[in-house]
Amino acid sequence: MRLSSPIYTLKRQAKLLARDKGIKLNQALNRIAAKEGFSDWSHLASSYSKATPAKEIMSQLNSSDMVLIGARPGHGKTLLGLELAALAKKNSRKGYVFSLDYNDADVWDRYEKLGLDPKEHDEPIVVDTSDDICAAHIIERLGNMPAHAFVVVDYLQLLDQRRNNPPLEEQVRALKKCAIERGAVVVLISQIDRPFELSSSTMPTLEDIRLPNPVDLSLFDKRCFLHDGKTQIESAA
């Protein structure tokens, strides 16, 4: 059953309802769940967990894969990336999130909205939101850590925003080399050009990736696109 709104929006509605009605949060959550057609909130959350594409995508990823996730703003690309990083532990990998778009509080807030608490893990996800993020910085952070990392970078177009950083394609190639040598999975979240919204297409493609500077997109082993609640994942030819 498809939710009327993302789960984090429903949780926000429940908090407002609890405050307005003077009831406990769990009661408000259950009321929201009932409106969505579920017996209670745990039933809704369980169904959401089964419906999210993250687990299906994770099952298709292999060691040394470089993955591209592309979508227009508001279609869930960052949330998907964060959820994949949270699932890494279940796949015997350590999750890393490198974000040039959000600060630490933003990242953990989005995990809360997803109903996830990666900090509870024995080896919690590493979150890095420093201004120094680039391929060299990421590789250095991974250098002293166990192999088989699961790395999410948010996002591709910001890697070369500093003039002293290498060209974007050079950085992507460096990350690809790191993934191969260390058996890691590297996920780069990407913007989609605005003209896509004016097209008749129902799903972005590689041609819609916003590239202020050239990048050989064949370096990506898997591509995942999101739009209007739908997800499409494909392997490089």
Using the predicted structure, report yes or no on whether residue 20 has a pLDDT greater than 80. Answer: yes
Q: Please state whether the predicted TM-score (pTM) of the whole model is above 0.75.
A: yes
Domain count across the chain:
2
Using the predicted structure, report yes or no on whether residue 167 has a pLDDT greater than 60. Answer: yes
Question: What confidence tens digit (pLDDT) does each residue in 56-71 have?
Answer: 899 999 999 999 999 9
Banded pLDDT at 55 (limits 50, 70, 90): confident
Mean of pLDDT values over 103-120? 78
Question: What confidence tens digit (pLDDT) does each residue in 126-165 have?
Answer: 999 999 999 999 999 998 776 789 999 999 999 998 889 9
If asked whether residues 60 and 155 sit together in one domain, one would say yes
If asked whether residues 41 and 152 sit together in one domain, one would say no
Banded pLDDT at 115 (limits 50, 70, 90): low
The pair of structure tokens assigned to 57 is 């995508």
Whether residue 152 contacts residue 94, with contact meaning beta carbons closer than 8 Å, is answered with no
Q: Is residue 104 part of a domain?
A: yes
Which residues touch 12 (CB under 8 Å, ≥6 apart)?
Answer: none
Q: Is residue 33 part of a domain?
A: yes
Question: What confidence tens digit (pLDDT) does each residue in 174-223 have?
Answer: 999 999 999 999 999 999 999 999 999 999 999 999 998 999 999 999 99
Residue length, the chain? 237
Q: Is residue 159 part of a domain?
A: yes
If asked whether residues 58 and 160 sit together in one domain, one would say yes
* Segments forming the whole domain that contains residue 230: 54-235
What CATH number corresponds to the domain at position 71?
3.40.50.300
Residue 222 phi, psi (nearest 5): -130, 145
If asked whether residues 28 and 65 sit together in one domain, one would say no
Q: Is residue 1 part of a domain?
A: no
Q: Is residue 2 part of a domain?
A: no
If asked whether residues 187 and 229 sit together in one domain, one would say yes
Banded pLDDT at 9 (limits 50, 70, 90): confident
Q: Is residue 36 part of a domain?
A: yes
Mean of pLDDT values over 12-29? 92
Q: Is residue 68 part of a domain?
A: yes
